[in-house]
Amino acid sequence: MSTKSSTTALVSAALAALAVFCGCGDVTPPEVDITSPADSVVVSGVVSIEASAYDSAGVVNVQFYADGSLVGEDALADYSADWNTDELADESWHFLNCVAWDLAGNSGYSDTVHVQVRRGGQHDVLHGAFILAGGHRRQAWFLADEGDSLSGEVRVANSRNLPLFLCVDAANFQLYTQGGQFQALHRAENVPELTMAVRIPGSDTFYLVFSNTGPDSLGVWARFTLE
């Protein structure tokens, strides 16, 4: 079991006890929002459901649901869970939501996001707006086959610049996170917006990385499609 999974299991097991011990006066539920995928987008394969959550006393767990069924949970920010759509009907619609829990046992519910599963043709791998806090990065991963085409665009709000954007395969993403030398399929630095189109060189997991090395938060909108 991974460290993140072990932490999630321990936090879930301790939640009831913490609620009894810490829940004397706290009746305010956490705030939670699904940040990816965006509402009404097309998805396929393994979808990473991502969420942001906040509570003044601390968020201890976020649970992720697809069509009302639990598909995963996460106790560590950035909160995410994988949802496998391979067995779902082509062009079928599904709804996603998540629930955040705090130390007092209060639960907060996200809005519902609707997505369509589509097997062939063009589909979104990332679509929507998000806040990128200062000193943080955000990444989205997707599966692609050799010869696929990835295209996308990014815009930063208020004429600000995005310090670093990368599109990298799994091996180079690991090198990047470890501070090593890496090669990117696409790289851009200090840009207010960008457009890109690349041919996937081989079947692999790929990552889109948005890195904000500055002190202030950035509003970012992005859409990337794979075909």
Q: What is the mean pLDDT of the chain?
A: 87
Give the burial class of 78: count Cβ atoms within 10 A of its Cβ; 0-12 exposed, 13-18 middle, 19 or more buried: middle
The per-residue pLDDT for 19 is 47
Q: How far apart are CA 36 and CA 197, in angstroms?
A: 21
Return the bridge partners of 62, or none: 74, 100
Among 110, 108, 107, smallest CA distance to 15 is for: 107
For the stretch 109-149, pLDDT in tens is: 999 999 888 776 677 788 778 889 999 998 888 888 899 99
**Tens digit of pLDDT for each residue in 151-201?**
999 999 999 999 999 999 999 999 999 999 999 999 999 999 999 999 999
pTM over cut 0.85: no
pLDDT, residue 154, reads 96
Distance CA 32, CA 54 (A): 6
3-7, 43-47, 83-87, 185-189: lowest mean pLDDT where? 3-7
Report strand pairing: 113-117 vs 42-43.
parallel
Please give the pLDDT value at position 91: 85
The continuous run of DSSP H or E covering 170 comes out as: helix 170-177
Ordered domains of the chain (ranges, CATH): 1-120 (2.60.40.10), 122-227 (2.60.120.680)
pLDDT at 23: 46
State the pLDDT confidence band at 4, using cuts at 50, 70 and 90: low
